[in-house]
Amino acid sequence: MYPASIEQYHRPATVDEARAAYAAAGGEAMYIAGGMSLMQAMKSRVLSCRALIDLSQVSELRGVENSGGRVRIGAMTRYRAVAESRAALGPYQALADAADRVGDRQVRNRGTVGGSLSWNFVVACTPVAALACGASVSILRADGRRESLAIDDFLQGPMTTALSEGDLLLGIEMPVPANPASSAYRKWGVVVDALPTIGVAVFVELASASSCRNARIAVVGLPGGPARTPRAEARLKAADLGDPSSLAACAKAAAEECDTAADPWIGASYKSHLIERLCLEMIGTAVRRARSQMS
Ligand SMILES: Cc1cc2nc3c(=O)[nH]c(=O)nc-3n(C[C@H](O)[C@H](O)[C@H](O)COP(=O)(O)OP(=O)(O)OC[C@H]3O[C@@H](n4cnc5c(N)ncnc54)[C@H](O)[C@@H]3O)c2cc1C
């Protein structure tokens, strides 16, 4: 099926031009980033608009930067660029892990961090990784105000975010912690390198080689979209990182506090099993990566 006709196509060079183009279309416009999700929705006529505003030429929305104690990722940074920016991402390797395995090569060459967060599909990889990393989301509101929201407040349920009509997501940023820290993400899916059945992202900041100062764990593959697991996080903060049974108890706690639901391919209890296994593995990877920074 072909999309309903699109009367105008704009390719602004700055965020101000993008916002002006949106306003000029009188509320009948949509921003397009990589087009990987939006074009499917337009071709099937689930969505339609009079004007498309293509963000691909807005250079200020592109890139991964690590400076002044903060890691910033522009909304128009494509998955491939994120996956190739491990050095700049510092402790936020989970975002590179996620970007590295999104879809296939074509999707990674086109899809963007901002598109994924704005779309917030129920089982997407970037939102759950950003949730574990404790990102702040920068938004340019339609009325010109700039705002920063915690990712926990930005993600509001499947395909729902704190963005309102005409708002532009500018990017995300995270602080570089004072102590050795890292993160990891892995998904398991029925089809390799496609949307996850279950994915788990873990962030740790170490207090010592065997203890955590801070920990965040987020799971995707749940009916309500990505969610943190507060009880497992509390256990990880109190855990002896050198004790395998202590880490196994964290992973078990994560599985127990997630309400999984069966789908036509995978039963709920197997999904719980996946959460436990992936969580244990990602705790191990994040801790190993963080320890490698200790002298
Ligand atoms: C074959 C295939 C496999 C895939 N596999 C995976 C996978 O394994 N894991 C995964 O996570 N995802 C997967 N996806 C989805 C993919 O990640 C999409 O790229 C993503 O959902 C949308 O990003 P995009 O840049 O293409 O955004 P677009 O499709 O261009 O836009 C999506 C939505 O976001 C809005 N938007 C985009 N940018 C902004 C902005 N800066 N400010 C405000 N609104 C904005 C658009 O208006 C639109 O509503 C897959 C997609 C395909 C086609």
163 and 236, same structural domain? Answer: no
Distances (CA, A) of 276 to 40, 254, 259: 34, 7, 13
Domain count, the chain: 3
Tell whether the model's pLDDT for residue 266 goes beyond 90.
Answer: yes
Interval 278-291: pLDDT, tens:
999 999 999 999 99
CATH number of residue 114's parent domain: 3.30.465.10
Measure 185 CA to ligand 1 centroid, in angstroms.
19
Least confident segment among 50-59, 143-152, 156-165, 192-201: 192-201
Residue 193 lies in a domain: yes
Assign 88 to helix, strand or coil: helix
Choosing from 17, 38, 53, 190 the residue with most ligand 1 atoms within 8 A of its CB, the one to mutate for a pocket test is 38
Residue 221 lies in a domain: yes
In the block, residue with structure tokens 């416009």: 29
Residue 3 lies in a domain: no
Residue 2 lies in a domain: no
Nearest atom in ligand 1 to 36's CA:
26
Assign 138 to helix, strand or coil: strand
Distances (CA, A) of 238 to 122, 195, 241, 254: 31, 33, 9, 14
Domain span at 248: 181-291
Q: How many Cα atoms are found within 13 Å in the side-chain-facing hemisphere of 235?
A: 22
* Beta bridge mates, 139: 147, 169
6 vs 237: which has the higher pLDDT: 237
134 and 53, same structural domain? Answer: no
Q: How far is CA 167 from the centre of its chain?
A: 18
Interval 60-89: pLDDT, tens:
999 999 999 999 999 999 999 999 999 999
CATH number of residue 208's parent domain: 3.30.390.50
Whether 121 lines ligand 1, by a CB cut-off of 6 Å, is yes
By alpha-carbon position, which residue is closest to atom 21 of ligand 1? 116
Whether 103 lines ligand 1, by a CB cut-off of 6 Å, is yes
Choosing from 43, 107, 185, 220 the residue with most ligand 1 atoms within 8 A of its CB, the one to mutate for a pocket test is 107
Measure 114 CA to ligand 1 centroid, in angstroms.
8
Q: Can you say whether residue 26 is alpha, beta or left, with left for phi > 0 and alpha for psi between -120 and 50 degrees?
A: left
Residue 97 lies in a domain: yes
